[in-house]
Amino acid sequence: MAVMRYSEALRLAMTEEMERDDSVFICGEEVGQYQGTYRVTEGMLSKFGPRRVVDTPISEIGIAGMATGAAMAGLRPIAEFMTWSFALEAMDALVNHAAKITYMSGGRISCPVVFRGPAGVGTQLSAQHSQSLESWFAHTPGFKVVLPSTPEDAKGLLKTAIRDPNPVIFMENAGIYGQRGEVPEDTDFMIPFGQAAVRTEGSDITLISYSNMVLKCLKAAEALEKDGIHCEVIDLRTLVPLDMDTVVKSIQKTHRAVVAHEEWKNVGFGAELASRIYEQAFDYMDAPIERVGGADVPMPYAKNLERAAIPTDLDIIAAVKRALA
């Protein structure tokens, strides 16, 4: 185990996989000479050279197409979006090509590609840079959708993503790139998709979340513990595949739930989660599931408005109290 930042864990995962397998390469805007917009790929160009660390023009369709086509031709590309908001430019390449080629070909083509990059809000980047599109991707069959919340998961899940034979949507959170944690150094350390992690056990209510929001749930749980409220915090880690077993087992114990994410609440992933919980554990529910999500507005620039638009641990606490009322 070594202690490192979330962003360093990502770099370690990519570095290990690139050392292991020559067919892995990374492409994207400013991933090379500039050392990565968020320094995730720092040093990788000088280590691997321009064949394997490829700076691209500002051409998201091109990037997505390059990665998808290369995957169809047998490589294992990692394409970085500078932020996920810019993936809006490439939706056709992603959704109508990467996600479907395997199905359309009757399984004759595999498309082992990882699309990764930061999502996340909180530094006043305003409306156009604050999209977190995981619900769109989770809605689209053909993708796996992964959102790690810790350095350890960042490494373990990214390695699984790179070795997965399918297109993987890998969303990091810029707000936690600097977060430190223990990370296994084993080069075969991988975390399987579809296994949620129970971050804290508790008996009164289940908080279900992913990415950055898990940390806010843990903070809320800590505060609530002092009031004698025992929260079970579940980190989904992957939205597709989704580990409902862990969720349902917890609900059968707690009978109450809060689902939480930073992205817009309306038609967000929380809605799916709540619906599935009711479908699979209706008789256990003692209170309506509370959803916590981002305000349904384009992200405002002003600090105070932005703060009001992003859900916090306090919003989770309030939701828990409503659910227990």
Partner 1 sequence: MAKTAVKEKSPSDIGLDTLLGHYKTMVLIRRFEESTYRKFREGKMGGYLHRYDGQEALVTALIPQLELPGDKILCTYRDHAHALLCGTSPRAIMAELMGRATGCALGKGGSMHLIDPDNGFLGGDGIVGGPVPISLGVGWALKYKNTKNVCVCYFGDGAMNQGGVHESFNMVGLYKLPVLYILENNQYAMGTSVSRSTGQPDFVKKAEAHGIAGERVDGMDFFTMWDAAKRALARIRETGEAYFLQVDCYRFVGHGVGDDNTQGWKFYRTEGEVHEWMKKDPIVKLGAYLKDAGVLPDELAEKIDQEAIAVVDDAVAFAEASPEPPLDSLYENVYS
Ligand X SMILES: Cc1ncc(C[n+]2csc(CCOP(=O)(O)OP(=O)(O)O)c2C)c(N)n1
Write down the catalytic residue from 8, 29, 60, 134. 60
111 binds partner 1 (CB under 8 A): yes
Which partner in ligand X, partner 1, a second copy, none is near 210 (CB below 5 to 8 A by kind)?
Answer: none
271 binds a second copy (CB under 8 A): yes
129 catalytic, yes or no?
yes
252 binds a second copy (CB under 8 A): no
Location of structure tokens 């620039």: 301
Choice between 88 and 248, CB closer to ligand X: 88
**Binding residue for partner 1, selected from 110, 187, 200, 280, defined by CB under 8 A:** 110
194 binds partner 1 (CB under 8 A): no
Residues comprising the chain, all counted: 325
Alpha-carbon radius of gyration of the chain: 19
105 binds partner 1 (CB under 8 A): yes
Q: Are 130 and 305 in contact (CB under 8 A)?
A: no
Backbone angles phi and psi of 314, in degrees to 5: -70, -35
- Continuous H helices in 51-189: 60-72, 91, 101-104, 134-139, 151-163
Choice between 82 and 319, CB closer to ligand X: 82
Provide the minimum distance between the beta carbon of 58 and ligand X in the complex, in angstroms, as a whole number: 5
Which partner in ligand X, a second copy, partner 1, none is near 45 (CB below 5 to 8 A by kind)?
Answer: none
3-class secondary structure, 206: strand
Name the DSSP letter for residue 140. Answer: S
Write down the catalytic residue from 42, 89, 129, 139. 129
Q: Are 33 and 44 in contact (CB under 8 A)?
A: no
Write the CA distances from 194 to 73, 146, 240, 259, 274, integer angstroms: 27, 9, 7, 18, 18
Q: Are 111 and 104 in contact (CB under 8 A)?
A: no
Write the CA distances from 262 to 11, 34, 84, 209, integer angstroms: 25, 29, 14, 9
CA distance 312 to 116: 25
128 binds partner 1 (CB under 8 A): yes
Site string for a second copy, 106-125 (x = CB under 8 A): --------------------
101 binds partner 1 (CB under 8 A): yes
Name the DSSP letter for residue 40. Answer: T
Question: Would you please indicate which residues are annotated as catalytic (active-site) residues?
Answer: 60, 129
Tell me which residues touch a second copy (CB under 8 A): 85-86, 88-89, 91-92, 95-96, 99-100, 103-104, 126-128, 131, 135-136, 138-142, 240, 264, 266-272, 274-275, 278-279, 282, 287-289, 291, 296-298, 300
